[in-house]
């Protein structure tokens, strides 16, 4: 039976931030994005209309977009998170308070080569549905969370193909072959040196015996 995925709504003014959050929550296969909101009004309407399992909210969320010349407040994230926590009972609200550190005007600051995790009070937030439903510490309060850059992206072994493995095997075979050849050459040299040593030893021994025999016989005759 297929596991039920967490239905998530993403609320941020910037499409790039929405995409970042989309990738973040779907990478483990626990959650699926069912809606996106770019301001407070849209987030409230979406949350009430589809009651998602979770809504991720950028703390810098404007009440309305497209009227930037009025220097409107962009601090609507907390207000929205509090309102949804109290009014939409089945939706867990995650308020992300440091997205501005990773994005400037929607553009990533330095996202290359990093992996990211969503954390609250120092621990990872799991978006798996059973874990989310167990989260009942403060049922009518948002979860105050932040994004943490955890590490460099690890080498993905799954991407190494058949011929990569064959190349590696070839390199190992060549190295082993050379090692064996070198061993054989050294062994042959060893045999030759030992044989030469044997011949010299034998010659010396024979000559010594012959000398002794001659000395014995010639001295008897004399």
Partner 1 sequence: MNRGNLTVKQLLRQCSVFAALSDVDLEKVAGMVIEKQYPAGTTIFRQGERAEDLYVLQEGKLALQITLPPEAQRQSGNRITVDAVNKNEVFGWSAVVEPHIFYMTAVCLQEAKVLAINGAKLRWLLQDNCKIGYEVLKELIKVVASRLDETRRVLVSERVLVINSE
Residues binding partner 1 (CB under 8 A) = 44, 59, 63-64, 67, 70-73, 75-80, 82-83, 86-87, 95, 97-98, 120-121, 138, 141-146
Residue corresponding to tokens 């510490």 = 137
Least distance from partner 1 to the Cβ atom of residue 83, Å = 3
Instruction: Pick between residue 20 and residue 60 the one whose CB is nearest to partner 1.
Output: 60
Least CB distance from residue 97 to partner 1, whole Å?
A: 4
Instruction: Choose between 70 and 157: whose C-beta lies nearer to partner 1.
Output: 70
* CA–CA gap between residue 179 and residue 169 (Å, rounded): 15
Q: Minimum distance from CB of 13 to partner 1 (Å)?
A: 14
Contacts of residue 85, Cβ cutoff 8 Å, sequence gap at least 6: 91, 93, 140, 141, 142
Cβ proximity to partner 1: between 5 and 119 the closer is 119
* Closest distance of CB 144 from partner 1, Å: 4
- Tell me the C-alpha distance between 118 and 98, whole Å: 11
Contact 27, 33 (CB under 8 A): no
CB nearer to partner 1: give 112 or 137: 137
Residues contacting 139, CB < 8 A, separation 6+:
none
CB 108 to partner 1: min, Å? 20
Residue 140 and residue 86 in contact, taking contact as beta carbons nearer than 8 Å: yes
Residue pair 56/11 in contact (Cβ under 8 Å)? The answer is: yes
Nearer to partner 1, 100 or 199 (CB): 100
Cβ neighbours around 36 below 10 Å, total: 18
């Amino acid at each position: 039976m297929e596991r039920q995925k967490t239905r998530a709504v993403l609320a941020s003014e910037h499409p790039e931030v929405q995409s970042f959050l989309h990738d973040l929550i779907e990478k483990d296969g626990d959650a699926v994005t069912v809606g996106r909101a770019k301001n407070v009004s849209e987030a409230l309407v979406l949350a009430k209309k589809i009651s998602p399992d979770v809504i991720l909210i950028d703390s810098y969320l404007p009440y309305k977009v497209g009227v930037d010349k009025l220097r409107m407040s962009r601090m609507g994230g907390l207000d929205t998170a509090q309102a949804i926590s109290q009014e939409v009972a089945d939706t867990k609200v995650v308020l992300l308070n440091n997205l501005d550190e990773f994005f400037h005007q929607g553009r990533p600051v330095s996202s290359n080569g990093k992996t990211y995790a969503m954390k609250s009070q120092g621990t990872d937030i799991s978006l798996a549905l059973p874990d989310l439903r167990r989260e009942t510490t403060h049922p009518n309060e948002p979860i105050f969370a932040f994004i943490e850059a955890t590490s460099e992206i690890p080498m993905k072994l799954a991407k190494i193909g058949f011929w990569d493995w064959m190349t590696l095997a070839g390199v190992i075979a060549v190295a082993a072959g050379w090692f064996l050849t070198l061993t054989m050459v050294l062994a042959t040299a060893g045999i030759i040196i030992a044989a030469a040593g044997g011949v010299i030893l034998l010659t010396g021994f024979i000559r010594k015996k012959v000398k002794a025999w001659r000395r014995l016989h010639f001295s008897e005759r004399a």
